[in-house]
Structure 1
């Protein structure tokens, strides 16, 4: 049998099989694509349904809070005349409810239930003038009254009733705020019920499209395999699922299967016939000899290809293949060497390290024997690079790589361990992978040797440079089960070493992992947070020597549905480091200015409103423009707004920052330096501060507000007064501190002795009580003075 015939018989089944496999692969890919497309489309529709549902819930909640903030419901509940309340005030409350509805035809109801579950008021937007609360809604009232929740949103549906989204919240009848859990039994239950028309319409449309009914579940749906189905969370304990019919995409798949099968068969016959003719005539015979020679080279039986001396195409092909093979061998060696070596230091780069370390880590995990990763970062390297130039920085890295190799190799050789993997991962970051057991001293000795290289600075060309090293340690498989996790954990441990003082080694721990997870969770919640729903402001009064309130500081509070109460000292640094603080600052500024008129009503027209913002924001003009926009929008005089910055901003007081602050001052805003004395201040910076007010940090107040420190306290305050700055003392929590500060000439005071941060409602109550107390003290002083005057007169007579 000739080579051509054998080629035909060999190629035909191969080509046929290839086309069939290709058709099968295309079918699988297309079927999966169709399935995925339908699945994505179904999921998208369910997500849209969830969005409509949540929008209805948000509208219900906004509706409820708007009603609670109005006077109609307060007058209704406080009225003792039942007839007048049910008629006149009930009608006014009904008008308030109707005025808040965007669609007069949309069904909504508003109900107030007494603590004994009897209806105090009920109104619904329907044609039935004698409408009452439905039995299903009353059953929900009983369940909420018996439970521990203070608010709830529920979807109710059933035969003979409208499908409703009901938002419920218990309200203290006195303060109109959420009661304490212990006072729930005496609280009113306010409910807003809305018929989710858009949600129901889209739900019916989706059910018609997929031929099945959507189901509501109270627990997360189990995973589906090879099915067109999806589920979405509507509420913490409410899920909507759709399990589509299996025939939904089956028709299209059957057509696709038939077309691909016929096409594969036809293409196989055409391709094989053409290939057999061409291969036999032009390729098979001439290339056989060359093929044998190339095969021997590829199998490693020969180092190179020999020229056959043949003429024509085969001769040229032989010479070209030989030249290409020789060039490929040389290029492969160069590329391999360049791709695995750091060009600056000559040690392994990140790619080579990942290749070697991945193998070692995998073997470590499989054999259950440990290995350790040291993640090394050079402290202050950027300072050296910027001050002394990149040439010095590059020379420092080259010397460091060489000395690291010597140090590590000495430890490995002394302890008879497998070779360590040393690499430069990026600019000033290095990694050392040791195959040693924890506790045998290898890690401790290696870290000590590395840190000793920086004792007294790092020497390059006879000169010492002020750099040190921070080392993070992670051990596999104790701390990580794969290379990526090992590097990440060692990197986290390295940052822990930096934050605890640098020039040291730090071991990765579960506490550090928990801290990273917490930071990551807070970052995610901040990225998704709706400030209007989860943020609120509290205000801390500032008083003068006479006890008069001269200002209030707006403080941000965050209550997350996932994390609960998150302290500002936790989420503010995270927001600043992740670049998410701009929207928070903008919200705080706008909300604080919108509420200023209430502060003005409580304390007078000259009351100062202090707003804290991130100092980093003032490096751009956007936040300054936002201040001006909010000022114009809310109609406030700029002189009553005091922008509080932490004193750390003065350490990097650049030209742009200085210019932005001066523009704000020129507009009339006041600038206040917060946390003065927290650890960054020098006398020169005090003189150079561009500010109207200095706020003494609570730690500084605690240290100086003592009798023996009174001269130092007077000197600090006098220096601030010499710079035409007012002085406010923070952390005033005892009468002794207040007396010392007053004796030292302090202008104003702030602290828990005066008041803790309060909401606007509580601030109003506090203001009334404080006014009464001050009036009582004044009257008592006048009475005592009068007695003294009478006593003196009697003595003269």
Structure 2
């Protein structure tokens, strides 16, 4: 009998008896733990059920958040009811719903109600082509509108499949959480999500444990041995208590599994022992395991290549080749992970890694570390006008130039690196001994952009704005240096571009003041802090024809804040609507008093923000105020800043045409120095243009006087009147009158003045005119 046969006969009874006894003992001593095991399984399935519920239920809130972040609702409300409007919103909601990870057959419904509870819009993704708003959504809507609840989330489980409804109550105008009293000024929207996966899991769970789920409004202490309760919401708890038969089945199943595992392990162990012993490979395996362990713990780079031609020798050599290949790939992958693919400069990850390292080194060596944050001005223009290929060309050439500027510094001192952070943003980390060294580098970069930037194939009308923050003066952490350099960069951009600015206390103060203005605008009382001033303008016969109404703000905390400072902030933060409303209402109230002094033909010119023109709400508000205060047609002139040329959309022109039809005159303010080509006047639904003071000064100069009559004639050909702003002296006035200008405004006539000073100024102006008319 061979040794292998004797080995097989010897090991077989030992394996069978050993695993048989082990199986019996394990089952005998583990019976008391089966309940714990089943409880753990139940816990796991219940937690899984809870996770499925939260994932599906969160879809409603996720859809609500995505919907409110977009402009879908504002676009819907701005347009008059129409099939196009409903179709556009349906497509937007469908696009949002398609982004969810729910099954495509899951029912998701979106509904929109007015303040009186009437449905405005309904969309449902389901297989039912005749679906209507569910009773649950109606119930949630009615409850919110009755109680003025701004947010609600309801879970309906009475019938499967379950569903959740997430709803919001918003202000109809500002689309913010509703805080008003008149519910008709609100709008209510809700998303209903059918919890198919949750309902399926719950049904499977009830079937598996042969029991029915128990719903309670609070957590109760279970009396059964095997039970589990999960919280699905603050007022909804689900309890599953398995039937005893299910527990018995689990115990029997445990025994069967234990016997099966024992049998598999016995067979595996039996053949493994025979194989290992018969093949005598214990020693080679141990040696290979030792070397692999050393490689994994970085004690050596690779295992030793084997000279043996046996299976184990070939396996060792394959491991050797595999580790060689993995090391090479790891080096290449790491290099790609820290390098920008377009410019081959270090990327943002490498920038952070390097900057943190040099900051730690500088703390020990007491050196300066400066962060130069570079942003290319007008880069969007390059992509839009010349194409993205030209934009990439610009970035690559700039990367080469920046690297060339840093190369001498790297060779002489080291401690510097340029990286591309993203888009058109670059950053330089410079370690230096003298503070002025970073200024020399920044000035060299500015010189690259003098007169634009040129590559081999293109000329780019771009420049660079740079912000500099230095360790330890401007911050001790990388986060602080990045924030301060970015702040300084934006200050350089506002200061005229193609320059650099060091972070300073004044820049920080400016940022704090901007933040303070933004905070004040959100909570201020317009009546207490705002006031209006009036700046007159005259016609060709020197009669006062109207006043431009200007706003002034004297803050109790900030003092006097100029309109050029707070109006852009108000437009950016969405607080300008209430300022506009206050200005219009206050000006409309003052019109009868102004006319009592200057006559019934006197007009008021009021500035209106271009940011407001895309909303039909401003049209409705102005029409309401006009009717409320009995304002005659053509008594109010609305002045648009010339940046209106950048927002020529259908909705904007609809508002402008609506304002003209409602009896308002439209004027373009600051004409001639902004962005509006003269030919675009053909498209503007306006009655007047106001020449900017810079243009007025230029065309009344003797060198350019010949341009003035054609300019005014061009406007007159379009039936557009012309007002000249910024008139400072009699010579300018005479030149403008001779050229046919219609109206005249400037400090030559008067500075803006409060309403209380209008009567006294008028008396003085009339006396001056009488004296001028007297014969000498």
TM range (shorter): 0.5 to 0.7
Are 1:727 and 2:722 matched, yes or no? yes
Equivalent residue for 2:406, pick from 384, 405, 408: 408
The Cα shift of 1:535 comes to 1.6
Q: Paired residue for 2:373?
A: 375
Q: 1:31-430 counterparts in 2 under 5 A?
A: 299-301=297-299, 336-337=334-335, 339-413=337-411, 416-430=412-426
SS in 1 for 2:367: coil
Q: Name the SS of the counterpart of 1:371 in structure 2.
A: strand
Do 2:370 and 2:438's aligned partners in 1 also have CA atoms closer than 8 Å?
Answer: no
Structure 1 residue 559: deviation in Å? Answer: 1.0
Quote how far apart the aligned CAs of 1:603 are. Answer: 3.5
**CA distance 1:606–1:516, shift in 2 (3 Å):** same
1:768/1:450 Cα in 2 relative to 1: closer, same or farther (>3 Å)? closer
Of 587, 590, 594 in structure 2, the residue corresponding to residue 592 of structure 1 is 587
Deviates more, 1:656-665 or 1:349-358: 656-665
Residue 667 of structure 1 is aligned with which of 619, 643, 662? 662
> What SS does the aligned partner of 2:570 have?
helix
Q: Per the alignment, in what secondary structure is the counterpart of residue 341 of structure 1?
A: coil
Distance of 2:560 and 2:639 partners within structure 1: 24
Change (3 A) 1:528 1:340: farther
User: Which residue matches 2:536?
Assistant: 541
Paired with 1:632 and 1:551, the residues of 2 have a C-alpha distance of 21
Alpha-carbon separation, structure 1, partners of 2:765 and 2:445: 68
Residues 449 and 498, structure 2, Cα contact 8 Å, conserved in 1:
no
In structure 1, distance between residues paired with 2:405 and 2:761: 71
The answer for the alignment partner of 2:50 in structure 1 is none
Deviation at 1:644, TM superposition (A): 0.4
- 1:529 corresponds to 2:524: yes
Aligned CA distance change for structure 1 residues 404 and 713 (closer, same or farther; 3 Å): closer
CA deviation map 1:420-462 (0-9, x unaligned): 22221111111111112335656525752685388763426x4
Show the counterpart of 2:563. 568
Report deviation, 1:575: 3.0
In the alignment, structure 1 segments of 5+ residues that lack a partner are 1-287, 307-320, 789-797
Q: Matched residues in 2 for 1:660 and 1:360: separation?
A: 57
Closer, same or farther in 2 for the Cα pair 1:776/1:459, shift >3 Å? closer
Superposition deviation, residue 578 in structure 1: 4.6
Q: In the alignment, which of 666, 685, 691 is matched to residue 686 of structure 2?
A: 691
The Cα offsets for residues 595-619 of structure 1, whole Å up to 9 and x where unpaired, read as 3343344434443221112223324
1:436 counterpart = 2:437: no
Give 1:305 shift.
Answer: 9.7
For residues 448-527 of structure 1, the aligned pairs below 5 Å read 448=444, 451-452=447-448, 457-459=453-455, 462-527=457-522
- For 1:706 and 1:289, how far apart are their aligned partners in 2? 96
SS of the residue corresponding to residue 470 of structure 2 reads strand
- Partners of 2:772 and 2:473 in 1: how far apart? 72
In 2, the alpha carbon distance for the partners of 1:473 and 1:534 equals 38
User: Displacement of 1:584 after TM fit?
Assistant: 2.5
Whether the 8 Å CA contact 1:707–1:740 is kept in 2: the answer is no
Paired residues in the alignment total: 489
Secondary structure of residue in 1 paired with 2:480: helix
Checking the alignment, whether the CA contact within 8 Å between 1:423 and 1:431 is kept in structure 2 is yes
Alpha-carbon distance, 1:389 to partner: 3.4
* Mapping for residues 737-756 of structure 1, pairs under 5 Å: 737-756=732-751
Q: Distance in 2 between matches of 1:742 and 1:569?
A: 30
CA distance in 2, matches of 1:781, 1:467: 53
State whether structure 2 residue 548 is matched by structure 1 residue 553: yes
SS in 1 for 2:432: coil
Match of 1:644 in 2: 639
Q: Contact 1:407–1:450 (CA<8 Å) still a contact in 2? A: no
Q: Is the 1:412–1:419 contact (alpha carbons within 8 Å) kept by the matching residues of 2? A: yes
Q: Is the 8 A contact 2:358 2:415 kept in 1?
A: no
How has the CA–CA distance of structure 1 residues 371 and 693 changed in structure 2, closer, same or farther, with 3 Å as cutoff?
Answer: same
Question: Runs of 5+ in structure 2 lacking a partner?
Answer: 1-285, 305-318
CA displacement at 1:509 relative to structure 2: 4.3
Do 1:642 and 1:671's aligned partners in 2 also have CA atoms closer than 8 Å? Answer: yes
Secondary structure of the structure 1 residue equivalent to 2:473: coil
Deviation string 1:350-405 (CA, Å, 9 cap, x unpaired) is 23212221232243245431122222222332222223433443454345434433
Q: How does 1:24-35 map to 2 (within 5 A)?
A: none
Contact 1:304 1:325 in 2 (8 A): yes
Residue 659 of structure 1 and its aligned partner are, at CA, apart by 4.2
Alpha-carbon distance in 1 for matches of 2:423, 2:405: 21
Retained in 1: the 8 A contact 2:449–2:462? no
> How far apart are the structure 2 equivalents of 1:349 and 1:707?
56
CA 453–611 in structure 1, closer or farther in 2 if over 3 Å, else same? closer
Q: Distance in 2 between matches of 1:301 and 1:773?
A: 96
* Alignment TM-score, normalising by the size of structure 1: 0.52
- Residues 610 and 647 in structure 2, CA contact (< 8 A), matched pair in contact too: no
Report whether the alignment pairs 1:770 with 2:766. Answer: no
Deviation readout 1:562-605 (Å, 9 max, x if unpaired): 11111112222333345543432233223323433433444344
Question: For the Cα contact (< 8 Å) 1:706–1:740, is it kept in 2?
Answer: no
Instruction: Describe the SS at the equivalent of 2:613.
Output: helix
1:673 Cα offset (Å)? 1.6
Shift of 1:670: 0.8
Q: Go from structure 1 to structure 2 and tell me whether the alpha carbon gap of 1:638 and 1:419 turns closer, same or farther (over 3 Å shift).
A: same
Matched residue of 1:478: which SS?
coil
Residue in 2 that maps onto 1:43: none
Please give the secondary structure, in 1, of the residue aligned with 2:433.
coil
Q: Could you say if the C-alpha distance between residues 464 and 326 of structure 1 is closer, same or farther in structure 2, counting changes exceeding 3 Å?
A: same
Tell me: CA distance 1:543–1:349, structure 2 relative to 1, closer, same or farther (3 Å). same
Tell me how far apart the structure 1 counterparts of residues 551 and 693 of structure 2 sit (CA, whole Å): 19
Shift of 1:516: 3.1
How far off is 1:560 after superposition?
Answer: 0.7
Give 1:327 shift: 12
Secondary structure of the residue aligned to 1:639 is coil
Distance 2:657 2:599 in 1: 28
C-alpha contact 2:603 2:636 (8 A) present in aligned 1: yes
> In the aligned structure 2, how far is the partner of 1:301 from the partner of 1:402?
40
Contact 1:375 1:432 survives alignment (8 Å): yes
